Amino acid sequence: MRRLIVLFVLAGLTGVAFAEKPVFDEPDQPIDIQCDLTEVVYDWDFATGDHGFFTELCEVGGVTAWEYGATTYIAGAPGNVWGTVLNDDYPNETGDGLISPSFLVDESTVLMEIFHYFDIETNYDGCNIVVNGIVITPMTGYSVPEISTSPNYYAWCVDMEPGWTGHNAVWAYSCFDLSQFMDQEVRFSLEFGSDDSVNYPGWYIAYIKVGNAGGTATDGDTWGAIKSMFR
């Protein structure tokens, strides 16, 4: 709905010169953290294959971007990766999701760790992870609580949602708690969205691991200690 309103307003301003696109301050990026997995049930190391991940538009009308293979565009890329265009900047109006195989969340699969890199136009473009239609937040948080807060620029798929944005431009770890999906069969979608101008390298994924840290989602020992560090 918001996109329709924006398009209507823009259509009514034909011939009017727009001001230069406002620049946002670079956000403080989340702390780099591994899950300290003691058991890995799913080890999707993309250096060894695409592992059955597939792409699907996360919003009708968005532009595709996810590709699998080698990149010379991103320093330190560890072999093959999934990336939002492997050897170029992502396109305008990207609205693409990278979808995982399905799996059951139980006590052995309660943590998800990703090793990734992002360099994205600050605030206007961004990315996040959605499980069964719900945006999930890493243990140390996302870059911003809302992507693309400007009413004049629409970020496909992720507009006004929490997510990563900005020029982190390093390979980093993020850890997610999947316990809210206990005993459910799930797929997750790595969703990337951009507006209609200004592009950067994007989002690249080296591996994703799912497992546990020796405790459980409720036992209050190892797992509880990890979570309490970031409350």
Give the helix ranges, DSSP H, for the chain: 2-11, 222-228
Q: Which domain holds residue 45?
A: 39-228
In this structure, is residue 164 part of a structural domain?
yes
Is 6 a member of any domain? no
DSSP-assigned letter for residue 164: B
- Domain presence at residue 118: yes
* Structure confidence by residue, pLDDT tens digits, 91-106: 999 999 999 999 999 9
Which of 227, 200, 231, 201 has its CA nearest to residue 216?
A: 227
Please check whether residue 213 is in contact with residue 38, taking contact to mean a CB–CB distance below 8 angstroms.
Answer: yes
Cβ atoms within 10 Å, residue 79 = 13
Confidence (pLDDT) at 44: 98
| Residue 20, domain member (yes or no) | no
Provide the pLDDT for residue 214. Answer: 82
Q: In Å, how far are 104, 107, 208 from 215, measured between CA atoms? A: 18, 8, 20
Q: By CB neighbour count within 10 A (0-12 exposed, 13-18 middle, 19+ buried), where does 19 fall? A: exposed
Within a domain: 19: no
In a domain, 5, yes or no: no
Q: Which of 177, 151, 215, 150 is nearest to 4 (CA)?
A: 151
28 lies in some domain: no
| pLDDT tens digits in sequence order for the chain, 231 residues long | 344 333 333 333 333 334 589 989 999 999 999 999 999 999 999 999 999 999 999 999 999 999 999 999 999 999 999 999 999 999 999 999 999 999 999 999 999 999 999 999 999 999 999 999 999 999 999 999 999 999 999 999 999 999 999 999 999 999 999 999 999 999 999 999 999 999 999 999 999 999 999 854 444 444 444 444 444
Asked, for residue 10, whether it belongs to a domain, the answer is no
Q: How many domains does the chain have?
A: 1
Q: What is the CATH number of the domain that holds 166?
A: 2.60.120.200
pLDDT at 138: 98
